[in-house]
Amino acid sequence: MESTFAVLADPHRRQILDVLRGGERPVNDLVDRLTLTQPTVSKHLKVLREAGLVEVRREAQRRWYRLCPQPLAAVDAWLAPYRLLWEHSLDALERRLDGMDR
């Protein structure tokens, strides 16, 4: 999971994952959407692939990339207690604000 966090620390990699949430994309589409150079996108895709966050499918000369959400499940599980903490804090804030209206 530590390597997943390191990979997700880069904003361009997170952008790539955001685009891939919409479905499989060829590398050139990612280049166009992210306004990055092709070598830069390829570098980030390699890191994402090595971390298991994306898979590649070859079709003739094209490479299609898709999101692999499984490694993100570990991150989600780790975040769950923090999410509960935030929910409790926000609930307390809501009660406080509701009390101020009265």
What distance in Å separates the CA atoms of residue 96 and residue 90, rounded to the nearest whole number? 10
pLDDT at 15: 96
Q: Which domains does the chain have, with CATH numbers?
A: 4-101 (1.10.10.10)
pLDDT at 1: 55
pLDDT at 102: 63
* pLDDT by 10s per residue, the chain, length 102: 568 899 999 999 999 999 999 999 999 999 999 989 999 999 999 999 999 999 999 999 899 999 999 989 988 998 899 888 888 788 788 888 888 866
Are 31 and 38 in contact by the 8 Å Cβ rule? The answer is: yes
